[in-house]
Amino acid sequence: MILTAPDDRSFPNGPSYRRGDPVDVAELAAKLGRADVDELAADLLEQGWPLRSDGGAKPASVAAVLASVGDDPVAAQAALDAEQASGAPRKSLVRKLEVVIAGDPKTDPASAGDDTAPEGADPKES
Amino acid sequence: MGNSRTAQVMIKDETTPGLIVTPDLAIPITDFSWAWEDAQTESEAIIAGRRTLDDWQSNGGNVAITGSVAGEVTVRSFGTLAKHAGLSAAAPVGPTDSYYSHVLTPGTTDGRALTLQAGVEDDAGTVQPVTLGGVKIPELTVAWDEGSKVNWSASLMAQVASYGATRTLSSCATTDGSKTVTVTSATADMEGHLITHANLPTGTFIEEVISATQVRVSQAATATASSLSIVVGKALATASYASGLKLLKAHNTSVSIAGTEIEAIGGSFTLANPLETRHRSGSRFSKEIKETGELFMVTGEVQVEHSQALYRRFLAGDKFDVSIPMVKGLASITTAIHARITPGAEPSISGRARNLMTIPFKAMGDGSDADAFTMTIVSLEATI
């Protein structure tokens, strides 16, 4: 089972992961000296480590995410956390969410366009 | 034999106070303790010829769960603790160079609580979980010496607790809308423990063990079914720590009088947010722990060299400012306190050492609570 690190994390006497890194639970269990791979996987899932998608499910569009967030900084933070945990955060979405979190529309980078949109993001979405 | 090297403490914010969640972040600690106080209610009836109470003359009373945890201030996680000690955080500003700025000022803790889980090794070498739910912090103390690490300690109040390894009860049954669950082999020590099944809402706990085959739970079942396996207790979560932990140290702490800074040697402050348990509705376990209505207090003391200006300030009853920056690289926690000196600041002579003053203080706002106490946390954490 492959999970996604929700944040920059270190396991005592074990490996460290950056936010969004893939985490092979079997490998992690081996490094931690644990035989209970399934139990470890269930524990981490319960702690909120997302199951890594194989890319089969298309993420919500940038416009859809921003529409659902509105100007709510808390919702924007949750959306930002989810995006950064996805393994391939879209830079345009991250920047726009950060503006909502900061609560300062004057710094809205929308006018700068979406030329920084990365992996799989549609730069025309706004 | 129990071994502290295997100890761990993990935390997570709860969505609803008292509904235990799975903790997801371990924090380095130096100390942890907890206590389960069962306020037994006892009969005052006279029994002819008896000089002692008979065992039937006591009954389980309200349960008060308290504890304490201590550690050292690092670049991560401290804000989460401060948030549950009577401070409210404004929306963070940033990130700037990946760092977020969080400003915390006195505010209500209503509607907010922590799940805190400790792992404590027993005499058989097994690390047993102690999971506290609905945790709030009535007192948080921070102590420092200039140029050294900063220590913190927090007292805890909790609504519920689950202790020890999980137990699975088989052949159980739930009824939609009912708080009574049919079980097998329930024991009295399960009261207050988390009870988990898909037919029970998250965070449900056992309020009362009615008999070995019936328990009353805190939230009604959502479906009717039988032949169920139900888990009692909360398993120990696998510990992972925030990467890049670094100790903060006190740096350039000072007392300011009318814009003139006096360097501080060390000191401490305590945030006191008076809280009380609320036992209602026939439960031995408290509903959300809430503030008593008494004032939120910030008190402490600062050590400085003997300062005539400062002592005259005390004699005049004037106010002054205390600044306590703690830093590591770009990360910092800066506490600004507006205070008055309370009695006990008299300069003294002690042997051949430099003459010092220990200034007891009490925070007072000049027009706002934020003026009395503001903590600014600059960290890599987008949320605290």
**Taking Cα atoms as reference points, which of B124, B135, B126, B98 lies closest to residue B21?**
B135
Mutate one of A4, A9, A16, A37 to test the B interface: name it (highest B CB count within 10 A): A9
Are B238 and A43 in contact (CB < 8 Å)?
Answer: yes
B306 token code pair: 């003997």
Residue with tokens 């903060």: B248
Mutate one of A46, A80, A81, A95 to test the B interface: name it (highest B CB count within 10 A): A46
> Do A23 and A17 meet the contact criterion of CB atoms below 8 Å apart?
yes
Cis preceding-peptide flag for B95 (omega within 30 of 0)? yes
**pLDDT tens digits, residue range A27-62?**
999 999 999 999 999 999 999 999 987 533 456 778
Using DSSP, state whether B59 is helix, strand or coil. Answer: strand
- Res. B252: pLDDT tops 90: no
Tally of CB atoms within 10 A around B315 = 9
Between B314 and B187, the more confident residue is B187
Are A47 and B92 in contact (CB < 8 Å)?
Answer: no
Query: What pLDDT score was predicted for residue B256?
Result: 80
Tally of CB atoms within 10 A around B2 = 14
B227 token code pair: 């032949």
Query: What pLDDT score was predicted for residue A125?
Result: 38
Query: What pLDDT score was predicted for residue A59?
Result: 62
Distance CA A55, CA B71 (A): 42
Say if A113 is an interface residue toward chain B (CB within 8 Å).
no
Q: For residue B234, with 0-12 CB atoms within 10 Å meaning exposed, 13-18 middle and 19 or more buried, which class applies?
A: buried
In chain A, count H helices and then E strands: 5, 4
**Taking Cα atoms as reference points, which of B36, B274, B17 lies closest to residue B135?**
B17
Residues in A closer than 8 angstroms to B93, CB to CB, are 102
pLDDT band at B218 (very low <50, low <70, confident <90, very high): very high
Q: Which whole number is the average pLDDT over B162-183?
A: 96
Between B291 and A71, the more confident residue is B291
Instruction: Provide ipTM, 2 decimals.
Output: 0.81
Helix (H) or strand (E) holding B369: helix B369-372
Residues in A closer than 8 angstroms to B102, CB to CB, are none
Residues in A closer than 8 angstroms to B241, CB to CB, are 9-12
Of all residues in chain A, the one with the smallest CA distance to B101 is A102
Measuring CA to CA, how many Å separate A80 from each of B83, B98, B241? 21, 14, 21
Residues in A closer than 8 angstroms to B238, CB to CB, are 11, 32, 40, 43-44, 47
Query: What pLDDT score was predicted for residue A86?
Result: 67
Between B271 and B185, the more confident residue is B271
Terminus-to-terminus CA distance in chain B, angstroms?
A: 37
**Taking Cα atoms as reference points, which of B25, B24, B30 lies closest to residue B7?**
B30
Tell me the average pLDDT of chain B.
92
Q: For residue A1, with 0-12 CB atoms within 10 Å meaning exposed, 13-18 middle and 19 or more buried, which class applies?
A: middle
Q: Among B49-53, B247-251, B252-256, name the one with the lowest average pLDDT.
A: B252-256
Mutate one of B99, B117, B238 to test the A interface: name it (highest A CB count within 10 A): B238
Query: What pLDDT score was predicted for residue A116?
Result: 39
How remote is the C-alpha of B344 from its chain's centroid?
30
> Do B118 and B135 meet the contact criterion of CB atoms below 8 Å apart?
no
Query: Whole-model pTM?
Result: 0.81
Query: What pLDDT score was predicted for residue A119?
Result: 43
Using DSSP, state whether B238 is helix, strand or coil. Answer: coil
Between B162 and B59, the more confident residue is B162
Q: Which of residues 35-94 of A touch B (CB under 8 A)?
A: 40, 43-44, 46-48, 73-74, 77, 80-81
pLDDT band at B154 (very low <50, low <70, confident <90, very high): very high
**Taking Cα atoms as reference points, which of B253, B167, B250, B174 lies closest to residue B215?**
B174
Residue with tokens 């300011």: B256
Q: Among A44-48, A116-120, B98-102, B350-354, name the one with the lowest average pLDDT.
A: A116-120
Query: What pLDDT score was predicted for residue A52?
Result: 85
Residue count of chain A: 126
Are A47 and B23 in contact (CB < 8 Å)?
Answer: yes
**Taking Cα atoms as reference points, which of B326, B342, B330 lies closest to residue B375?**
B326
**pLDDT tens digits, residue range B36-53?**
998 888 999 999 999 999
- Res. A104: pLDDT tops 90: no
Using DSSP, state whether B44 is helix, strand or coil. Answer: coil
B108 token code pair: 């209500």
Residue type, A66: L
Of A8, A46, A81, the CB nearest to B243: A8
- Res. A68: pLDDT tops 80: no
| Shortest Cα–Cα distance, B331 to chain A (Å) | 16
> Do B266 and B142 meet the contact criterion of CB atoms below 8 Å apart?
no
**Taking Cα atoms as reference points, which of B169, B100, B130 lies closest to residue B23?**
B130
